[in-house]
A = this chain, B = another copy of it.
Amino acid sequence: MTSATATTNVMTAETLLNNWQGHRRVTRKTIEAFPEDKLFAFSVGGMRPFAELAMEFIRMAVPIVDGVSTGKWVDYKGPKPTTKSELLQLWDAQTEELNAKFPNIPPHRFCEVDKAFGRWEGPGLATIQYAIDNEIHHRGQGYVYLRALGIEPPPFWIRD
């Protein structure tokens, strides 16, 4: 690795948030694509239904932004939706909360190392990136559930 690579900045906080919200829009469309009963009950290979995966994303997103922002790591204590419309409402509320809170992350906190939720050690950026990657990973699994149900998933490359 050259030293230029170590000092070349390739991403701003704004781009990171935009990437994330782009992915979150795809995830929202994925939730919408499920018939209500399948959303909470269907899976393949003994895995969790997509509503449970979506709740994992929700338990991570705002609490991680709060933790990176403040250094205080507090588990999600919000609502636990039992219908598709409640889940989508919660999703939309988090979208707004992320947009409001993310820009307030102090710049130095992206590289400061914390033990997130007392368990996952890494710089703020890595913890946020983990939340995004985890969402992409499990949403890809939701695509298989949809295909197995004969339903076309939303296009992966359209982020608006």
Contacts and interface: CB of A to CB of B under 8 A. Distances in A.
Interface string A129-144: 1100110111111011
Contacts of A82: none
Interface stretch (A15-23, A72-80, A88-96): A15-23
B8 A110 contact: yes
A149 B47 CA distance: 12
Most buried by B among A6, A23, A140, A148: A140
A144 B15 contact: no
Interface residues of A, number: 51
Contact of A11 (B10, B140, B144, B145): B10
A136 B144 contact: no
Contact of A5 (B17, B136, B150, B156): B17
A113 interface: no
Contacts of A103: 1-2, 4-5
A143 B45 CA distance: 10
A110 B10 contact: yes
Contacts of A141: 140-141, 143-144
B134 A137 contact: no
Contacts of A11: 9-11, 16, 125
Contacts of A157: 120, 130
A14 B9 contact: no
